[in-house]
Amino acid sequence: MTAALDAYWMPFTANRHFKQAPRLLAKAEGMHYWTADGRRILDGVAGLWCVNAGHSRPEITAAVAKQIEVMDYAPPFQIGHPAAFELAEKVAAIAPPGLNRVFFTNSGSESVDTALKIALAYHRLRGDGARTRIIGRERGYHGVGFGGISVGGMVANRKMWSASMLPGVDHLPHTHDLARNAFSRGVPSHGAELANELERLVALHDASTIAAVIVEPIAGSTGVLLPPKGYLEKLRAICDRHGILLIFDEVITGFGRTGSAFGAQEFGVIPDLITCAKGITNGCVPMGAVIAKQEIHDTFMQGPPAAIELFHGYTYSAHPLACAAGLATLDIYQRDGLLTRAKTLSPYWEQAAHSLRGLPAVIDVRNYGLILGLEFEARAGAPGARAFEVYLKCFERGVLVRNTGDTIALSPPLIIEKFHVDELFGTLAEVIRTVA
Ligand code: PXG
């Protein structure tokens, strides 16, 4: 380590704690990272829910390298490049039926802000401009833009900026209910009725003021909260009844995490807009996207033909390197069957996950596809401390997990093999015994 650590203000990090004992990654391949001092670390979280095809895939590396040699950058406004159109077609081809128009961004946060803006503009273009209200959900995470923190439900992301939130946002209750659903396998049985809270919000505000509802099919960042059986269907039905758009934020559930290309297909509920990012390029070049129903897109295609229909976009929308990475990534997903591999492996994953039941302080194990939420009882007066300690100790023992509150989340690359699953849960179990 030669550089000083002071200048880099790290995101979502305990900076002072980190800089006392930095954890530095230097190399990645397949299921593993290597630290700067040469230790091999099993990646239990696909980087940060994004490296779904495993690290440093040569096909993706080659595609990005080739692209940067041929054309480093292309402006996305009023001009294009072929890979952008090709990638949009390929994303549309794996999206749920009817969602076939793709707007590129550079992150999940940008995708969320883009989708919210599209929803508001859509109603306005239809002469329904009083629909300005957006409904999010407690314990939702939709990135860190002002739109995203407004509809999100993570208090630490909200309290500092509470006076600067989007006006007119309201929230559904979260669906996490340990009293009824602890140690569920797959989606929990209880809680579909929580979707009826949307009817109450409609009764309170009137449907004519509500533009959209945004939820994650599975909430990741706030601790892996699974949708109760029948819940998403109910939300869809209520939105339909009242002309409200339904947005699924699939930044983590997209690209095979649940066992289908998107959570929408997995749960059989088709939203009007999908936000995604992360896995679209296997995490190697920043990119996000909003996938819209054609009808929404077509609503914008009015007015003088030379007029710009949507005043929105980013300098790096459809960046050539991201498009090259995306095309190579989708090829791998398809060729290697990775979009459905989580379904094949999930019985083994589920069995291994639930073997942690009964370990000290473990109050819940929940799983879906290749996702795990492992919740601990919080230490008195020190919320989050136990899971953070588990995270640190796992890292010392060569396994990367993710802590959020008192939950450990796992979301490994979809190329994971059974022996990796054993190592992951074996290390977790050992660590939990020492930390409790
Ligand atoms: N929506 C969802 C559902 C997300 O999970 C974002 C939006 C924002 O994406 P960007 O690309 O702007 O970060 C996310 C991001 C975690 C964790 O530990 C998850 C995310 C980010 C940081 C940590 O689970 N997801």
Convert the pLDDT of each residue in 263-304 to its tens digit. 999 999 999 999 999 999 999 999 999 999 999 999 999 999
Protein residue with least CA distance to atom 9, ligand 1: 108
Cβ-contact 142, 249 below 8 angstroms: yes
- CA-nearest of 35, 20, 38, 49 to 279 is 49
Residue 348, H or E segment: helix 338-354
- Report CA(305)–ligand 1 centroid distance (Å): 37
Q: What is the pTM of this model?
A: 0.98
With a cut of 90, say whether residue 193 has pLDDT above it: yes
- Report CA(204)–ligand 1 centroid distance (Å): 31
Please tell me if the CB atom of residue 220 comes closer than 6 angstroms to any atom of ligand 1: yes
Please tell me if the CB atom of residue 252 comes closer than 6 angstroms to any atom of ligand 1: yes
Convert the pLDDT of each residue in 49-89 to its tens digit. 999 999 999 999 999 999 999 999 999 999 999 999 999 99
With a cut of 80, say whether residue 436 has pLDDT above it: no
Please tell me if the CB atom of residue 44 comes closer than 6 angstroms to any atom of ligand 1: no
Cβ-contact 390, 408 below 8 angstroms: yes
Convert the pLDDT of each residue in 370-402 to its tens digit. 999 999 999 999 999 999 999 999 999 999 999
Convert the pLDDT of each residue in 2-47 to its tens digit. 589 999 999 999 999 999 999 999 999 999 999 999 999 999 999 9
Structure-block tokens of residue 138: 């407690």
Specify the pLDDT at position 30. Answer: 98
- Note the residue count of the chain: 436
Cβ-contact 114, 105 below 8 angstroms: yes
214 - beta bridge partners?
247
Q: In which order are the strands placed within the sheet that holds 32-35?
A: 25-29, 32-35, 40-43, 399-400
In whole angstroms, what is the distance from residue 134 CA to residue 210 CA? 6
What is the residue-averaged pLDDT of the chain? 97
Q: What angle (nearest 5°) sits at the alpha carbon of residue 175, between those of residues 173 and 178?
A: 125
- Report CA(140)–ligand 1 centroid distance (Å): 10
Cβ-contact 293, 273 below 8 angstroms: yes
Protein residue with least CA distance to atom 24, ligand 1: 221
Model confidence at 112, pLDDT cuts 50, 70, 90, reads very high
Return left, alpha or beta for 186; rule: phi > 0 is left, psi -120 to 50 is alpha, else beta: left
Specify the pLDDT at position 137. Answer: 98
Orientation of helix 338-354 relative to helix 320-335, angle to 10°: 70
Please tell me if the CB atom of residue 47 comes closer than 6 angstroms to any atom of ligand 1: no
- Report CA(207)–ligand 1 centroid distance (Å): 29
CB atoms within 10 A of CB 176: 22
Going by the DSSP 8-state scheme, the letter that residue 402 receives in this structure is: E
Structure-block tokens of residue 77: 């406004």
Report, in this order, helix, strand and coil percent for the chain, each rounded to 5. 40, 20, 40
- Report CA(108)–ligand 1 centroid distance (Å): 6
CA contacts within 13 A on the Cβ side of 45: 20
Please tell me if the CB atom of residue 142 comes closer than 6 angstroms to any atom of ligand 1: yes
- Report CA(141)–ligand 1 centroid distance (Å): 7
Q: Which of 12, 45, 149, 221 to mutate to test the pocket of ligand 1 (most atoms within 8 A of CB)?
A: 221
Specify the pLDDT at position 3. Answer: 82
With a cut of 60, say whether residue 324 has pLDDT above it: yes
For residue 381, CA distances in Å to 13, 228, 386, 404 come to 21, 30, 11, 16
With a cut of 60, say whether residue 1 has pLDDT above it: no
For residues 103, 262, 106 and 304, what is the CA-based torsion angle, rounded to 10 degrees?
10
Q: What is the mean pLDDT of residues 299-324?
A: 97
Structure-block tokens of residue 377: 């009882």
In whole angstroms, what is the distance from residue 268 CA to residue 1 CA? 50
For residue 156, CA distances in Å to 15, 95, 149, 343 come to 16, 33, 10, 34
Q: How many helices (H) and strands (E) does the chain have?
A: 16, 15
In whole angstroms, what is the distance from residue 387 CA to residue 393 CA? 10
Cβ-contact 138, 155 below 8 angstroms: no
In whole angstroms, what is the distance from residue 175 CA to residue 72 CA? 45
In whole angstroms, what is the distance from residue 112 CA to residue 133 CA? 15
- CA-nearest of 150, 129, 148 to 209 is 129
- CA-nearest of 220, 258, 282 to 370 is 258
Rounded to a whole number of angstroms, the distance between the first and last alpha carbons of the chain is 33
Please tell me if the CB atom of residue 404 comes closer than 6 angstroms to any atom of ligand 1: yes
Q: What is the mean pLDDT of residues 210-215?
A: 98
Convert the pLDDT of each residue in 139-186 to its tens digit. 999 999 999 999 999 998 899 999 999 999 999 999 999 999 999 999
Please tell me if the CB atom of residue 403 comes closer than 6 angstroms to any atom of ligand 1: no
- CA-nearest of 271, 253, 270 to 262 is 253
CA contacts within 13 A on the Cβ side of 52: 37
